[in-house]
Amino acid sequence: MKNDYDIAVIGAGPIGAASALGLARTGYRVALVDAHPLKDPVSTDEPLDLRVFAVSRASRRLFQQLDAWPAMAAVRVSPYRHMTVWDAHGRVEFDAADVAEAELGHIVENRVIQAALHQQLRESSIDCFLPDRLERLSLEPSGALLGLARAGRLRARLVVAADGGASPTREMAGIDVRPVDHEQVALVAHIRSEKPHGETARQRFLETGPLALLPLADGRCSIVWSTTPAEAERLRGLSPEQFGRELTLASDGVLGSLMPDTEVVGFPLCSRQAERYIDERLVLVGDAAHTVHPLAGLGMNLGLKDVAELHRVLARARDRGHDSGERTVLRRYERARRPDN
């Protein structure tokens, strides 16, 4: 039937889009649902997104397999070939040459990642219900019934929840989460530095939380400064010059004088862990399953590892003629991913 699918993916962010693309390429009939329309391509003259991620080599390989990496590289990606991590007791350094690689990873804007994946969605066989919203979900041994606000009813043998840390899909399924309030706020901004960043990702662990300085393609750095709520409020109340002086001190002056070049944005930090990653005809991926402290922008890589494992498990199930939504199939995914998160 027209609205019958093998798999329905809820959420078209990077994790949901990558999930849908990989599963469609495996041969499944896929529907994708999200409350927002597909993103337009990003041009090179648009300002940099404040939200950036440190994309690992494994994540880059997944983007390459989905044919999305060339579009990202054509706009903006910033390789980091070195990494320095230090605290009051010592320092550890990593170099791409030590592992015979050209780089350790790339710093990529969230908007660039999403636009490249959405371009692939436009060219795929996936039925995109965007903008639309999941309003009802019924999970039965024989399959899932989804009620969308605009498109009405869909049926699927499996639902993939990729709709973020506050996942409405997870809530509809009655899966509880264990939240951990870190009692920290992450301050995010792009900054200019007196010294060149040298394609090096830096992270200093302070008593109040970690400070990351990530190299950007235009020569600036992105900072993620995690600290107490009271200290975050104080820092955000400073003038740009005062904030720059405090940031320079907090970074040990490794890049000389620092100055914010954008607004300093703060958001509270909370980790979540779903009590289970699977249910009847349902699997959780990315932030819907787990959210972590945003150490140096690395959180997306865990979600993309979920995606890669789900692709592997469901491709194997299809090759063997197994039902993709059976618990015995989904447990293989949960056993592989839960210990890593």
Classify domain 180-269 at the CATH superfamily level: D-Amino Acid Oxidase, subunit A, domain 2 (3.30.9.10)
Burial of 315 (0-12, 13-18, 19+ CB in 10 A): middle
CA angle 279, 338, 303 (to 5 degrees): 90
The pLDDT value given to residue 263? 96
- Answer whether residue 180 shows pLDDT above 90: no
**Nearest one of 218, 243, 327, 247 to 282, comparing CA atoms:** 327
Asked if the bond preceding 179 is cis, omega within 30° of 0, the reply is: no
**Average pLDDT of the chain to the nearest whole number:** 95
Structure token pair of residue 134: 């999941």
| Confidence band for 209, pLDDT divided at 50, 70 and 90 | very high
The pLDDT of residue 238:
98
For 90-121, what is each residue's pLDDT tens digit? 999 999 999 999 999 999 999 999 999 999 99
Flag whether pLDDT at 5 surpasses 60: yes
From the CA atom positions of the chain, what is the Rg in Å?
Answer: 21
pLDDT tens digit sequence for 184-207: 999 999 999 999 999 999 999 999
High-pLDDT (> 90) share of the chain, %: 91
Cα torsion angle, 57, 59, 61, 64, sign: negative
Q: Could you tell me whether strands 282-284 and 152-161 are parallel, antiparallel, or unpaired per DSSP bridges?
A: parallel
A 10 A CB-CB count for 39 gives 19
pLDDT at 341: 72
d(C-alpha 83, C-alpha 68), whole Å = 26
Residue 297 has pLDDT above 80, yes or no: no
Cα(128)–Cα(8) distance, rounded to whole angstroms?
10
Domain with CATH 3.50.50.60 in the chain: 4-80+108-179+272-340
pLDDT the model gives residue 298: 66
CB 8 within 8 A of CB 159: yes
- CATH 3.30.9.10 maps onto the chain at 180-269
Q: With 60 as the cut, is the pLDDT of residue 296 above it? A: no
CATH number for region 4-80+108-179+272-340 = 3.50.50.60
Give which of 312, 289, 211 is closest to 254, Cα–Cα: 211
Predicted confidence at residue 61, as pLDDT, reads 97
- Do residues 119 and 111 make contact, with C-beta atoms less than 8 angstroms apart? no
